[in-house]
Structure 1
Amino acid sequence: MAKKIGLFVAGAVALLVLLFHLGPLVGLAITLAVLYYAFKKWLKAPSTFGKVVWALIGCAALVASASNVPALIALVAAYVLYVVYQKWNGVKDKRIVPEADDPFVNFEKQWAELQKHY
């Protein structure tokens, strides 16, 4: 029961932090989209003037992205919410393969048996 209360408190704090930093998060997403678009246009620009204009737009977007550093706090809060959700529902990490199902472990066992016989 104490574990559920701790998870609830951690989730509530992470949700509040995420909500308070939602503005910088949206600003970061917009400025990164502008930066990506400017970079793509800079690569395709046929003239030097076009490359300079798109480089200036990209630099402005980069500076605007750097000013949205509080958005990183929102990303951390979103990750904490994700972890709390997994722990609350008892979801196990699906990336870890059990040793019995791991083909490399079975191969090494069979290889060791072959080495014993020869």
Structure 2
Amino acid sequence: MKKLLILIAGGVTFIIALCMLGPMIGLAFSGLLILAAMYFYTKSHTTFSKVIWIILGVIGASSAIANIPAIIGIVAVVILYVLYRKWKDEEMTVEHRSSKSNDPFTNFEREWSNLTK
């Protein structure tokens, strides 16, 4: 039953992530435009080129604001990743170590407990 619920939740989040693929690409493109504008603004020397890069940065920022719904898609991708990790989670076995080992820290703890008795 648990695997069925994970499968259904994974299907729903996959559909949401697929529907938000366009805004996520637009947000990534506008982020790259902002980064490029900031980079070239710091490299430019003339006032005209700085104004041009500021205008391109504002265009990128307005495009990023328009693509805010892409955050829903990003959250859906993160949830899909978490559900995938839950799906692949296998029962872990714990190995029991014997008290007689060659580990110096274990030996120290054992000897210390014998000395403080």
Which residue of structure 1 lines up, in the alignment, with residue 34 of structure 2? 35
Tell me the distance in 2 between the aligned counterparts of 1:74 and 1:30: 15
Structure 1 alignment gaps of length 5 or more: 92-105
Tell me the distance in 2 between the aligned counterparts of 1:90 and 1:6: 15
Which residue of structure 1 lines up, in the alignment, with residue 44 of structure 2? 45
Calculate the TM-score normalised by the size of structure 2.
0.75
Equivalent runs, 1:20-99 vs 2, <5 Å: 20-90=19-89
Structure 1 runs (4+) greater than 3 angstroms displaced: none
Tell me the distance in 2 between the aligned counterparts of 1:24 and 1:57: 19
Give CA-to-partner distance per residue, 1:23-56, whole Å, 9 cap, x none: 1011111111111111100010111111111011
Tell me the distance in 1 between the aligned counterparts of 2:44 and 2:65: 25
Which residue of structure 2 lines up, in the alignment, with residue 103 of structure 1? none
RMSD: 2.1
Calculate the TM-score normalised by the size of structure 1.
0.75
Give CA-to-partner distance per residue, 1:49-89, whole Å, 9 cap, x none: 11111011101110011100110000000001000000000
Instruction: State, as a whole percentage, how many aligned pairs show the same letter.
Output: 34
Which residue of structure 1 lines up, in the alignment, with residue 4 of structure 2? 5
Q: What count of residue pairs does the alignment treat as equivalent?
A: 96
Structure 2 alignment gaps of length 5 or more: 91-104
Q: Which amino acid aligns with 1:45?
A: S
Tell me the distance in 1 between the aligned counterparts of 2:77 and 2:32: 20
Q: Which has the larger radius of gyration?
A: 2
Tell me the distance in 2 between the aligned counterparts of 1:72 and 1:59: 20
